[in-house]
Amino acid sequence: MSLGGVAALVASGGFVVLVLFLAVPILRARHTVDAATTAICDAANRTTPMLERANTTIDNLNTALMQVHSTLDGVNLQLARIDTITENVSHVSANVANLSTVVSAAAASPLAKVAAFGYGIRRAVGIRRHIADEAEIREQRSH
């Protein structure tokens, strides 16, 4: 055997030792990767039902929110109608107040005249009574 053959034999022996030396960590790494794969599969199997329930809950919540939205639309429509009614009532109240002022002014002027006329009549009747009473007293004294 020549020197080159011995060198090739030593190199191949070294390569075999290196492969055997690296085989142990590679096999351990394989077990670690297998365990990690199993853990990930278990986590996926557990989270899938939870995510499905979460999706169902979100779908139910979206349905409820749509119903609330529809209800609020109805309430807003009713409030708009109430605003219109309130505005109309406000106009009617203003018209009634104006009418009341006009009627009051129209009734107050004749009423004041009637009251003044009544006061004048009472005063005139009072003065006539007073004059009649004085005349009667004078007549009684003269007799």
- Which one-letter amino acid corresponds to residue 18? L
Please give the angle made by the CA atoms of 125, 130 and 134, to the nearest 5 degrees: 145
Read off the pTM. Answer: 0.42
Here the tokens at position 143 are: 């007799």
Instruction: Of 20-24, 44-48, 81-85, 104-108, give the lowest mean pLDDT range.
Output: 104-108
CA gap 112, 118 in Å, rounded: 10
Please say if the pLDDT value at position 6 is more than 70. yes
CA gap 134, 77 in Å, rounded: 83
* pLDDT tens figures, 51-98: 999 999 999 999 999 999 999 999 999 999 999 999 999 999 988 888
The dihedral region occupied by 74, where left means phi > 0, alpha psi between -120 and 50, and beta the remainder, is: alpha
Here the tokens at position 46 are: 């557990």
